[in-house]
Amino acid sequence: MKQRIVIEVSMADLKSRSKAMKIAVGVAGVESAAITGPDKNQVEVVGDGIDVVVLTKLIRKKVAYAEVVSVGEAEKPHKAPEKPAEAATSAPQQVFWPLAPAPICYDYVRDDPSCSIM
């Protein structure tokens, strides 16, 4: 069962956000992580079998104060019912083979040197 965890972290700069993301994706079972919230101060983690306590402790230890906001089941994206694909009809492709080139005829004119009259 996939779970969605939202942890609020007091992050003031990009460096602390980067650290929090590295820690979040380094925990076993994480499939995706994102920085969310109105002030970009929440880490949203989605995965299977994530230990929330371990994740929160690691963020507290390496970044700043962290507080678990919510833990719940990950929502499945709702897909619109797909219509069966219509068979694409296309005109048959015409194949044009190149014509064979015309043969080149060579005519050799030889003078016969054995005739002495001319």
pLDDT digits (tens, 9 = 90+) for 7-39: 999 888 899 999 999 999 999 889 999 999 888
- Specify if 36 maps to a domain: yes
- Specify if 82 maps to a domain: no
Residues of the chain with pLDDT under 70: 77-80, 85, 87-88, 111-113, 115-118
- Specify if 6 maps to a domain: yes
pTM above 0.85, yes or no: no
Could you tell me the CA-to-CA distances from 40 to 5, 11, 60, 102 in Å, in that order?
Answer: 15, 8, 17, 76
- Specify if 65 maps to a domain: yes
- Specify if 115 maps to a domain: no
- Specify if 45 maps to a domain: yes
Containing structural domain, residue 64 = 2-73
> What integer pLDDT is reported at residue 89 of this predicted model?
74
> Looking at the 3D structure of the chain, how many domains does it have?
1
Long-range CB contacts (< 8 A, 24+ apart) of 14-17?
16/63, 16/64
CATH number of the domain where residue 46 is located: 3.30.70.100
Place of tokens 């064979």: 100
- Specify if 8 maps to a domain: yes
